[in-house]
Amino acid sequence: MTATDMRRDGIRTGSGVWGAVACGVAGFLLAFAVSVSAASLDLSNLVLNNNDGRIQVRFGLDIPDLTPLYAALAEGAVLAVRMEARLSLKSEYLWDRQVAETSRLTILRKVGAQYVLEAAPGGRPVQTPPGGVAPPPLAAGPDLPDVLRRAFGEVALDLGAWDILTRGQAYVLVLSIGLGRGDVSAFWRNALFFWSFDVLPKARYRLDFTY
């Protein structure tokens, strides 16, 4: 497998409000929106390999400036880290044809003096039934950088069976990562479609390779 190109496209969304907004909605925006700063989601060591017959995407995620996270968590916000990977057969003439995709959602919250990162399969935090035992968090502790390092220092995403790849074919792997407010309902997201609830600008990485 030969990698031909990897690049990062930063996507910054606007933090201003379009036009005049009613006072009630404006109050909601002030309470729930977190401004996007110069902080970023940085990727390291992006690798696609064969792991026991499975396509595995491995990488490390780093957030050099945690100021926006500290601010949001201090306000009681629940943050969501979403990772999406898509593998497509590269085309020179038409759109690339997707052959595999996967996603992962994790929830970050502050509970007392502890920062807690939990898995959220299906897009929702795991709900523990009455009398049940809550699953252990991915990472937890009083030191946010350490919690993030333990959870995201090495990430592995599974894209399915390796035998879907064809020798000699060119492929494109696109990895998208976002960190935003996880406690905003779909109603408000749709109603305030012009407003960004991202805590950090979304990051998009592209890896071109030939198998």
Q: What is the mean pLDDT of the chain?
A: 77
Measured distance CA(174)–CA(184) in Å, rounded: 26
Amino acid at 142: P
Q: Is the pLDDT of residue 27 over 90?
A: no
pLDDT given at position 127: 54
pLDDT tens-digit profile of 57-98?
A: 999 999 999 999 999 999 998 999 999 999 999 988 778 899
Q: Which long-range contacts (CB under 8 A, 24 or more apart) does 166-169 make?
A: 166/211, 167/211, 168/210, 168/211, 169/89, 169/90, 169/210, 169/211
Total domains present in the chain: 1
Q: Is the pLDDT of residue 39 over 60?
A: yes
How many percent of the chain have pLDDT more than 90?
55
pLDDT given at position 122: 56
pLDDT given at position 192: 36
pLDDT tens-digit profile of 87-136?
A: 999 988 778 899 999 999 999 999 999 999 998 865 455 554 455 556 78
Q: Is the pLDDT of residue 14 over 60?
A: no
What is the domain range of residue 203? Answer: 2-15+23-210
Measured distance CA(87)–CA(163) in Å, rounded: 13
Judged by DSSP in three states, 162 sits in: helix
Measured distance CA(88)–CA(84) in Å, rounded: 13
CB-CB contact of 103 with 82 (8 Å): yes
pLDDT tens-digit profile of 134-165?
A: 678 899 999 999 999 999 999 999 999 999 99
How would you classify the pairing of strands 155-161 and 170-181? Answer: unpaired
